[in-house]
Amino acid sequence: MATLTPGDLTETERALAGAVLAGTLLDLGDLEDLGDLGDLGDLEDLEDTEEREVRAEFVRQVMAGRFPWHGGERPDPRGLRLRGARIIGELDLSEVDSQLPLRLLDCHVDGAVRLTGGLLRAVDLSGLVATSVAAQEMTLERSLVLRDVRLRSDGLHAPIELGGSRLGGLLDLSGARLTSADGPAVQASNLHTGGGVFLNRGFRADGRGTLGTVRLPGAVLGGQLNMTGAVVRNPDGPALIADYLQTASNVMLNGDFRAEGRRDTGTVRLVGARIGGRLICEGGRARAAEPGDLALNLSQTAVAGDLLLPVSFADGPVDLNGLTYGGQARHADLTEWLDLLSTGTNYYASQPYFQLAAAHGSTGHERDVRRIHIAGRRICSGVVSSGSGAGSGTASPGRRWATATGRRWRCSG
Query: Using one digit for the tens of pLDDT, what is the confidence trace for 307-342?
Result: 999 999 999 999 999 999 999 999 999 999 999 999
Same domain? For 151 and 286 the reply is yes
What is the domain count for the chain? Answer: 2
What pLDDT, on the 0 to 100 scale, is given for residue 72?
84
Structural domain contains residue 181: yes
Same domain? For 79 and 130 the reply is yes
The DSSP H or E segment spanning 186 is strand 186-187
> At residue 216, does pLDDT exceed 80?
yes
Mean pLDDT of 164-176: 98
Same domain? For 71 and 109 the reply is yes
Domain that holds residue 411: 343-383+395-413
Same domain? For 274 and 241 the reply is yes
Same domain? For 130 and 106 the reply is yes
Structural domain contains residue 12: no
Same domain? For 210 and 96 the reply is yes
What confidence category does residue 395 fall into, taking pLDDT thresholds of 50, 70 and 90? very low
What confidence category does residue 406 fall into, taking pLDDT thresholds of 50, 70 and 90? low
Among 81-90, 262-271, 344-353, 376-385, name the one with the lowest average pLDDT.
376-385
> At residue 119, does pLDDT exceed 90?
yes
Mean pLDDT of 138-152: 98
Structural domain contains residue 20: no
Tell me the pLDDT of the chain averaged across its residues.
89
What pLDDT, on the 0 to 100 scale, is given for residue 52?
95
Same domain? For 332 and 409 the reply is no
What pLDDT, on the 0 to 100 scale, is given for residue 201?
97
Distances (CA, A) of 263 to 17, 315, 316, 386, 408: 51, 13, 11, 42, 17
Structural domain contains residue 9: no
Same domain? For 349 and 322 the reply is no
What pLDDT, on the 0 to 100 scale, is given for residue 167?
98
Structural domain contains residue 16: no
Tell me the residue ranges of DSSP E strands in 69-131. 80-83, 86-88, 91-92, 102-105, 108-109, 112-114, 119-120, 123-124, 129-130
Which of the two residues, 127 and 386, has the higher pLDDT score? 127
Mark 207-232 as b/e (b = at least 16 C-beta within 10 Å): bbbebbbbbbbbbbbbbbbbbbbbbb
Same domain? For 368 and 277 the reply is no
Same domain? For 410 and 299 the reply is no
What pLDDT, on the 0 to 100 scale, is given for residue 389?
37
pTM of this structure: 0.90
> At residue 405, does pLDDT exceed 70?
no
Structural domain contains residue 1: no
Structural domain contains residue 8: no
**Dist CA 47 CA 53 (whole Å):** 11
**Dist CA 327 CA 185 (whole Å):** 33
CA nearest 61: which of 34, 82, 80? 80
Same domain? For 275 and 132 the reply is yes
Same domain? For 199 and 69 the reply is yes
**pLDDT tens-place string over residues 13-31:** 999 999 999 999 999 986 4
Structural domain contains residue 390: no
> At residue 212, does pLDDT exceed 90?
yes
What pLDDT, on the 0 to 100 scale, is given for residue 38?
39
Mean pLDDT of 220-225: 98
- Cα angle 51-69-6, degrees, rounded to a multiple of 5: 40
Distances (CA, A) of 352 to 85, 286, 374: 55, 20, 13
